[in-house]
Amino acid sequence: MVARLAATHAFYVLPVGNDGALATPELVPFWVGQNTQHPDKVKVLVMEDAERVLLRRDADNQNSISALLNIADGLMGRMLRLHLVCSLNGKLDEIDPAILRPGRLRSFRRFGLLSKETAVAIAQLRGASFEPESERNGFTLAEVLNPSVVKQPNREARIGF
């Protein structure tokens, strides 16, 4: 996406551990400066593993979610002309309901397991050697691009990485 839209968009990555930056006083002057430097480009803020700012509000993330909503949908968001792209590894029903209200979330994509055919095609495109187990029907992209993961014994019994 970044490579395809580089001519028309400016991308900024915010590590989710720095989500407090969404509510700092320096936020507005920074984005105003970026809009001045790149007046013809759409500004896109990318946050990977953004569970902390997307999942249901709790004592530890309430300010982050409020700041995110103000940037995405509030007056500040309109003034800054900023788009957000967030990824998470959670379930849709765990996302804060305010984010899912009509008019707020423009779109979302759910990436499920890859079929054998798709997995093999991706591996071939990347020049990777991938031989799927015959009894399995779904594969993660990590497994396709890192075939040694697939060959580990008792893979389902593992927890974590």
Residue 120: what pLDDT?
Answer: 87
Structural domain boundaries of the chain? 2-100, 116-155
Q: Which of 22, 16, 21 has the alpha carbon at shortest distance from 52?
A: 16
User: Do 11 and 46 contact (CB within 8 A), yes or no?
Assistant: yes
What tens digit of pLDDT does each residue of 61-114 get? 777 778 788 777 767 767 777 888 888 887 778 888 888 888 777 788 888 889
How many other CB atoms are there within 10 angstroms of residue 11's CB atom? 16
Residue 7: what pLDDT?
Answer: 94
Residue 34: what pLDDT?
Answer: 92
Q: What is the rounded distance in angstroms from the CA atom of residue 33 to the CA atom of residue 76?
A: 14
Residue 161: what pLDDT?
Answer: 46
pLDDT band at 149 (very low <50, low <70, confident <90, very high): low
